[in-house]
Structure 1
Amino acid sequence: MKISTKGRYGLTVMIELAKRVGDGPVSLKTIAQDNNLSEHYLEQLVPPLRNAGLVRSVRGAYGGYMLAKDSKEITAGDVIRILEGPITPVEGIEDEEPAKQALWMRIRDAVKDVLDTTTLDDLSKHGEDDSQEPYMFYI
């Protein structure tokens, strides 16, 4: 399974909003500048997140975006599914032999478990405590 820039940058937006809870609306321009990302690209990612009820927009000169739910209630899996679609390591696993099907399903379930048990609150606070190691993934 490969997560595209859509999922990665969307997760970045959501983490930045989680870090700034209580600060009022945050502009995409600010998030883009702080993370060296394209503001135009981020503008394309927010509508599906807003339509799904994860963010809300505030209009006006001091407008921007805010989380629509508590950061402890939004998982990385929520964001990835909205922007990337279903989490599946292999297309058409029903056509595979049973041993391979079982492997692909175990991989899918492991990835889903990590994504669905990691909240925006976890991600926004990660690294604040020096005792925490950064998330590292090895294959």
Structure 2
Amino acid sequence: MANFLLERTVPLPLPEAWRRLTEWPRHADVVPLTRVRVTTPEPTHEGTRFVARSGLGPLSFEDPMEVTVWQPPGDDTPGRCRLEKRGRVITGWAEIEVRPGPGGRARVVWREELRVRFVPGVLDGVVERAARYVFGRAMNRLLRRA
């Protein structure tokens, strides 16, 4: 099991930082070889489900997720979203928080616990470093793009 924490402070209002991180199909624009399909009606709420499919051809897998906590931020109040990962290959959870930061900026915190089936625990450090890189890069790109 890999656990990691990512934090960023960005010059965005809380609702805009939240929007950029929680428009699920946008994640496919910033994660290589990945498509995202929302399988429940919009708007996002507790119970929303979506599937990220990553890889090429027979070397791909699906990462189905469900929103289990959905508390959007106000202009000055924090927001929190929790996703449960329920796939055959990837399990665990992710939490995204957006809260007031210094100077009217948004402070974003992304926590994740990731389990990759068929990968022995001795490789958890490798999984954590790879996930930190991929999700950190995705988070940076999502927050930069309007």
TM-score, shorter chain, exceeding 0.5:
no
Could you state the TM-score of these two structures normalised by the residue count of structure 2? 0.29
Instruction: Specify the structure having the higher radius of gyration (Cα).
Output: 1
Structure that is richer in strand per residue: 2
TM-score (normalizing by structure 1) = 0.30
